[in-house]
Structure 1
Amino acid sequence: MILRDIIRLSFSSLVSQRLRSFLTILGIAVGIASVVLLTSIGEGVHRFTLAEFTQFGTNLIGINPGRTTTFGTSGAIINTIRPLSIADEEALKRIPGVLETVSVVQGNGPVEFFKNSRRTTILGVGPAVPKVWQMRVLKGRFLPVDDSSAPRSYVVLGSKVKEELFRENNPLGQVVRVAGERYRVIGVMESKGQMLGFDLDDAVYIPAQRAMSLFNQQSLMEIDLLYQTGLESKTIAERAKRILVSRHGTEDFTITTQEEMLKVLGSVLDILTAAVGGLGAISLLVGGVGIVTIMTIAVNERTPEIGLLRAIGADRRQILLLFIGEAVVLAAAGGLAGLVIGAGIAWLLGVFVPALPTHTPWLYALYAEILAVVIGLLAGVLPARTAAGLNPVDALRAE
């Protein structure tokens, strides 16, 4: 019996048992569809989170007051942490390779214009925000370079705040109250959207020094450094560390490069994607058990046929290939159907539920199809060995 005959017999057997073949294919298809759908959701969340995280650019370094590690000494006993100041920011700005810096103070309070009022995020920042955070001014201008010790009472509105307070009216030049203090509106920011749940449009921007006074803060919450493309973040971070240690007398601050943050975030999201893919793989295992069951039943039903094939000269290897081939075909067909179903559902979710980002990683899909074929191969081995091991005379006697 030549290979062409083995293939023809395999397909004719599958076609003759349409319902059984369909149910087996369906079991594998559900497993593959689960893997593809879950990994699509996981990869979609992965890409969405990274895109949100990097919308400010990738050449950023954040510096915060305090250390992220402790040495076993209670802070109630001794506190050597010095606040981050505007003077620290000005010293960091002189680092070779640093393009701009932004000091950040954050709080919350009401913003009022006549009878309209909205409680929102108040960000005390420096004039370099548009360049460092990659934000654009829609109307007017951003905060100007001012005397850091006594900046003027200017405010820039986020797009949502402008819409709530002024509707279609022009806010430029108007006076609003920010947490009870009077500020003149000099600009409106272009819509930026959300970053990891924080609405950048629902915020107002005032000078950092005024925000520190407004919220009675002694320290900046953060200093962001924008450095030249091509430079290593570790080099800039080390230079910043030396400057701050010389000013503070000790390392009482935390420097975080965006590469470090993205690396940690990426590893967490990779684990998430792999975990949801593993959950879908459980369905594949169930499909594999179904193939073993179906092929075992097929061996028992086709014992006379096996005996006849052996009687006319088919050897054990050919019988083995016949049944393994059937199992692989069933698994591969189920895998292809599962790919189409899983990718289709993921696409529909992306269309009808935009809040749930999906992206089908075709590499994972290819792995899933290969896994389906392997499962079919392994699941068909035991029944195929059983069929190949039958005695021709005994098999014919079962007719």
Structure 2
Amino acid sequence: MNLIDGFTWITRSVLSAKQRSVLTVAGIAIGITAVALLTSVGEGLRHYLLDSFSQFGTRIIAVTPGKSSTQGMPGVLNSVKPLSIDDAESLRKLPYVTAVVAIVNGTGKVEADQFSRDTNIFGVSSDADKAWKINVSQGRFLPADDPHSSRAYAVLGSKLKQELFGDRPVLGEFVRVGGTRFRIIGVMESKGQLLGFDLDDIIYIPVARGLQLFDRESLMEIDIVFDEFTNSTNMSDRITRQLMSLHGIEDFTLFTQEDMLSTLDDILRFITLAVASIGGISLFVGGVGVVTIMMTSLQERASEIGLLSALGSTRQQILSLFLGEAVVLSCSGGLIGIVTALGIVFTLNMTLPNLPLSINVFYLLLALLLSLIIGLIAGILPALKASRLNPIETLRNE
């Protein structure tokens, strides 16, 4: 029996029992579709979150107060020291630094005439718009006043402006924050939401005013943006040396945007694989279906196998025929499942463009490989039994 004869035998075997073959292919296709769809959800979520965090730039280092350290015992001890506006101003003088943002934030009531709204209040430096790549749609951002004695200016997020003032002009109007009047000098462009946090429902005020408003001694964070002529490692060393010269000890913690994005990427990839493994359960069920179908086929075609053996077919050839049939069924289901998944994702992207779905070719190829492996594994037992049948006994029983 040559290769063409073997392929013809497999094709006829699959087509001769159409209902059985369709059920087997459908079982595998459903499993592959489930894996492909679940991984597309995971990949879409990964791209969405990484793009959301990357919109603020990748050359950012965040400094927070307090240094985590172990002291030879279980648990973590924190020593929290304040970060000051003077610390932020000293970092502004470092080489390669393009922007420094001192940050303090909280929530509070913002009032305008008879309207009021509880919202997020950010006390920031004048570089915040450039550092975070946020744009002003009306007016201007906070000016570079004396960092310790800034004028009572405010910039509103687009949603907050709409809630308090509607469509009327707001530049030059006043809002009250914590009993203090702030003159509105700008309105930000809409940025949407990030992890449930509404970036448009914010009011920006000078950082010194924010410290007074929240009665804080320490900044919550200092963001340092550096240019492309250095890297995060070198910049982190410079920041550490500068702050240690002011504080005497390393009582602060640095986070680079690259490290945060890398960690987030690793976590999201693991989640995607975990979700795909859940979908793999349906593939296992499909594999069981292939085994059942192949065992049934073996019982029905015992005489045919006996005739092949009597005509000179070797055990190896019969083994290959049954394995080939199982692989054809599984791969057919895999291809149909992938095409179905692509169609569903394309349709959802057209009808629901905001739904984060993204097809990764690697996972599609992995799903197809899984269907091939399932076919091989599911066909081994029936193929072995078929190759070991006694041709005389099978023909006599027939």
- State the TM-score bracket (shorter-chain normalisation): over 0.9
Shift in Å at residue 340 of structure 1?
Answer: 2.1
Q: Partner residue of 2:197? A: 198
Matches within 5 A, 1:216-295: 216-295=215-294
Note if contact 2:58-2:258 (Cα within 8 Å) is conserved in structure 1: yes
Aligned residue identity for 1:301: E
Distance in 2 (alpha carbons) for counterparts of 1:82 and 1:383 = 71
Aligned residue identity for 1:391: N
Distance in 2 (alpha carbons) for counterparts of 1:387 and 1:398 = 15
C-alpha RMSD of matched pairs (Å): 1.7
Q: Partner residue of 1:157? A: 156
Distance in 2 (alpha carbons) for counterparts of 1:81 and 1:48 = 34
1:22 lines up with 2:49 in the alignment? no
Matches within 5 A, 1:54-69: 54-69=54-69
Shift in Å at residue 179 of structure 1?
Answer: 2.2
Q: Partner residue of 2:8? A: 8
Q: Partner residue of 1:360? A: 359
Note if contact 1:347-1:358 (Cα within 8 Å) is conserved in structure 2: no
For residue 68 of structure 1, give the secondary structure of its aligned residue in structure 2.
strand
Q: Which moved more, 1:23-32 or 1:339-348?
A: 339-348
Distance in 1 (alpha carbons) for counterparts of 2:209 and 2:380 = 76
In the TM superposition, what whole-angstrom CA distance separates every residue of 1:35-88 from its partner, at most 9, and x where no partner exists?
A: 111111111111111111111010000001112335379xxxx99643111110
In the TM superposition, what whole-angstrom CA distance separates every residue of 1:244-286 from its partner, at most 9, and x where no partner exists?
A: 1111111111111111111211111111011001111121112
The structure-2 alpha-carbon separation of the partners of 1:67 and 1:351, relative to structure 1 and needing over 3 Å to count, comes to: farther
Q: Partner residue of 2:112? A: 113
Distance in 1 (alpha carbons) for counterparts of 2:316 and 2:72 = 70
Note if contact 1:45-1:357 (Cα within 8 Å) is conserved in structure 2: yes
Shift in Å at residue 346 of structure 1?
Answer: 3.5
Q: Partner residue of 1:396? A: 395
Aligned residue identity for 1:168: D
Distance in 2 (alpha carbons) for counterparts of 1:205 and 1:118 = 15
The structure-2 alpha-carbon separation of the partners of 1:374 and 1:238, relative to structure 1 and needing over 3 Å to count, comes to: same
For residue 68 of structure 2, give the secondary structure of its aligned residue in structure 1.
coil
Distance in 2 (alpha carbons) for counterparts of 1:248 and 1:168 = 48
Q: Partner residue of 1:122? A: 121
Q: Partner residue of 1:317? A: 316
Q: Partner residue of 2:337? A: 338
Distance in 2 (alpha carbons) for counterparts of 1:321 and 1:52 = 52
Structure 2 alignment gaps of length 5 or more: none
For residue 110 of structure 2, give the secondary structure of its aligned residue in structure 1.
strand
Distance in 2 (alpha carbons) for counterparts of 1:235 and 1:367 = 40
Shift in Å at residue 348 of structure 1?
Answer: 4.1
Q: Which moved more, 1:55-64 or 1:289-298?
A: 289-298
Q: Partner residue of 1:47? A: 47
Note if contact 2:66-2:78 (Cα within 8 Å) is conserved in structure 1: no
In the TM superposition, what whole-angstrom CA distance separates every residue of 1:301-349 from its partner, at most 9, and x where no partner exists?
A: 1011111122222222221221111101100011011112233333444
Distance in 1 (alpha carbons) for counterparts of 2:272 and 2:78 = 42
The structure-2 alpha-carbon separation of the partners of 1:117 and 1:80, relative to structure 1 and needing over 3 Å to count, comes to: same
Structure 1 alignment gaps of length 5 or more: none
Distance in 2 (alpha carbons) for counterparts of 1:318 and 1:255 = 65
Q: TM-score if structure 2 supplies the norm length?
A: 0.95
In the TM superposition, what whole-angstrom CA distance separates every residue of 1:85-144 from its partner, at most 9, and x where no partner exists?
A: 111001111111111100101011111211121111110001111210000110110001
Distance in 1 (alpha carbons) for counterparts of 2:357 and 2:120 = 31
Q: Partner residue of 2:81? A: 82
Q: Which moved more, 1:292-301 or 1:62-71?
A: 62-71
Q: Partner residue of 2:177? A: 178
Distance in 2 (alpha carbons) for counterparts of 1:182 and 1:71 = 48
Note if contact 2:67-2:79 (Cα within 8 Å) is conserved in structure 1: no
Distance in 1 (alpha carbons) for counterparts of 2:111 and 2:295 = 77
Aligned residue identity for 1:32: I
Distance in 2 (alpha carbons) for counterparts of 1:367 and 1:212 = 54
Q: Which moved more, 1:346-355 or 1:219-228?
A: 346-355
For residue 254 of structure 2, give the secondary structure of its aligned residue in structure 1.
strand
Aligned residue identity for 1:34: A
Distance in 2 (alpha carbons) for counterparts of 1:315 and 1:19 = 30
Aligned residue identity for 1:105: V
For residue 143 of structure 2, give the secondary structure of its aligned residue in structure 1.
coil
Distance in 1 (alpha carbons) for counterparts of 2:56 and 2:330 = 46
Question: How many equivalent pairs are there?
Answer: 395
Q: TM-score if structure 1 supplies the norm length?
A: 0.95
